[in-house]
Amino acid sequence: MPPRDKAYDSKAVRGELRRRRTQAMISRKGSPNIKGLGKLRYVVEQTFVLLHQFKCLAVRWERRIELHGAFVSLACSLICWSRLTRVGS
């Protein structure tokens, strides 16, 4: 998901987003705020809340990045599994 904060409005960030073929949803510095981006930000913040319920992700203990990435993938899988089983009940 691309950054949505005006603090990320720079030529370097926009160029990297173009390189990755990602649509920029960044407000330009000095422009009025865009309504509705708060709803998108809420989803991202709630995702971090769900991930931080796993202690090893809230405080990164792993020194190796691949282990941390594996724990993030496992946590996402467990979150999806719990949501799917709750809906099916």
27 and 45 belong to one structural domain? no
Host domain of residue 29: 1-34
25 and 63 belong to one structural domain? no
Q: What is the pLDDT, as a whole number, of residue 77? A: 92
* Distance set, CA 12 to CA 2, 17, 30, 38 (Å): 13, 9, 18, 24
19 and 58 belong to one structural domain? no
19, 31 Cβ separation under 8 angstroms: no
77 and 44 belong to one structural domain? yes
62 and 21 belong to one structural domain? no
Q: What is the pLDDT, as a whole number, of residue 40? A: 64
Q: What is the pLDDT, as a whole number, of residue 66? A: 86
Q: What is the pLDDT, as a whole number, of residue 50? A: 86
Q: What is the pLDDT, as a whole number, of residue 30? A: 66
For the chain, the 3-state helix, strand and coil shares in percent, each to the nearest 5, are 60, 0, 40
Q: What is the pLDDT, as a whole number, of residue 1? A: 47
58 and 85 belong to one structural domain? yes
| Regions of the chain where pLDDT drops below 70 | 1-8, 26-41, 88-89
How far is residue 3's CA from residue 20's CA, in Å, rounded to a whole number? 13
63 and 81 belong to one structural domain? yes
Q: How many domains does one find in the chain? A: 2
